[in-house]
Amino acid sequence: MLKTDYAKVSKVYDKNKGRIDFPRDEEIEKLLETKESITVLDLACGTGNYLLGQQQHYEGKNIRWIGIDLSPEMLDIAKSKNLSAEFINANAESFNLEEESVDLIVCNFAFHHFENKQKCLEKIYATLKKGGVLRFRNVEPECMKEWWVYKYCPETFFEDKFRFWPKDLMIYELKKNHFANISAKLEYYEKYKPINELVENYKRRDSSQLAMIDDESYNKGLQRVIQEVSQGETEYKDVVALLEIRCEKR
């Protein structure tokens, strides 16, 4: 499985505007209806954008915020945002938190990076309180084969087949690890956008797919993009399939 060098990606990660704004997480609101205080863990928190958004939405609430990430460079950026959060540099399979200490664990666009996914689920289950909530959100490669990254760098799609667990496998593994009340929601979007935006996005190289491939493969894809622009193309088709899976600890 190819790996993404987040020491490099960290320098451009927040330039992608789609990563900055997180809506109010209603799961937190539901937990606060029955508890005076809660603990929220963002697993693979990156540059801390989810935590930043939720702290703004839930300012003044009695919430302990924790962010865990394997990349020290990404965590350095998260820390620079002056969040009221604890940051831990660790991987998802062996982070050190007390068992049954967390009410909500979120993992946004990161589960595919974890090398030992089964062990990660075991660790998550042990860390959640009884009745605690786990929620994954990620893209679903099998449902977005027309995505521009896969179009111009087709090798990335096949690499993602190794990295991503499809929906049915995710649910099966969650059941094996004793999670209950499992639900899955798939959303699909497509939109035509200006071709100059595609060139900008490609050259930024902030997606894990473009960052993980070698420079030769990346440059071949870039030449395909440039060729389309030279042929007079004015738009490109952007597609995304988002899979959200929610479950609870028995």
First to last CA, the chain: 33
Specify the pLDDT at position 21: 84
Rounded to two decimals, the pTM is: 0.96
- pLDDT digit string, tens, across residues 66-112: 999 999 999 999 999 999 999 999 999 999 999 999 999 999 999 99
- Domain of 140 in residue numbering reads as 6-249
Q: Examine residue 169 and state whether it is found in any structural domain, yes or no.
A: yes
8 A C-beta contact, residue 106 and residue 42: yes
Cα(80)–Cα(75) distance, rounded to whole angstroms? 9
Q: Which amino acid appears at position 2 of this protein?
A: L
- Those residues whose C-beta lies under 8 Å from the C-beta of residue 199, and which sit 6 or more positions away, are 225, 226, 229
Q: Examine residue 119 and state whether it is found in any structural domain, yes or no.
A: yes
Residue with tokens 């190819």: 2
Q: Examine residue 178 and state whether it is found in any structural domain, yes or no.
A: yes
- pLDDT digit string, tens, across residues 178-220: 999 999 999 999 999 999 999 999 999 999 999 999 999 999 9
With cut-offs at 50, 70 and 90, classify the pLDDT of residue 17. confident
Range 119-123, long-range pairs (CB < 8 A, 24+ positions): 119/93, 119/94, 120/92, 120/93, 121/173, 121/174, 121/177, 121/179, 122/177, 123/92, 123/93, 123/94, 123/95
8 A C-beta contact, residue 229 and residue 152: no
Cα(154)–Cα(68) distance, rounded to whole angstroms? 31
**Helical (H) or strand (E) element with 236:** strand 235-249
Q: Examine residue 240 and state whether it is found in any structural domain, yes or no.
A: yes
Q: Examine residue 91 and state whether it is found in any structural domain, yes or no.
A: yes
- The CATH code of the domain that includes 189 is 3.40.50.150
20 pLDDT higher than 90: no
Q: Examine residue 1 and state whether it is found in any structural domain, yes or no.
A: no
Q: Examine residue 220 and state whether it is found in any structural domain, yes or no.
A: yes
- If one counts the domains in the chain, the total is 1
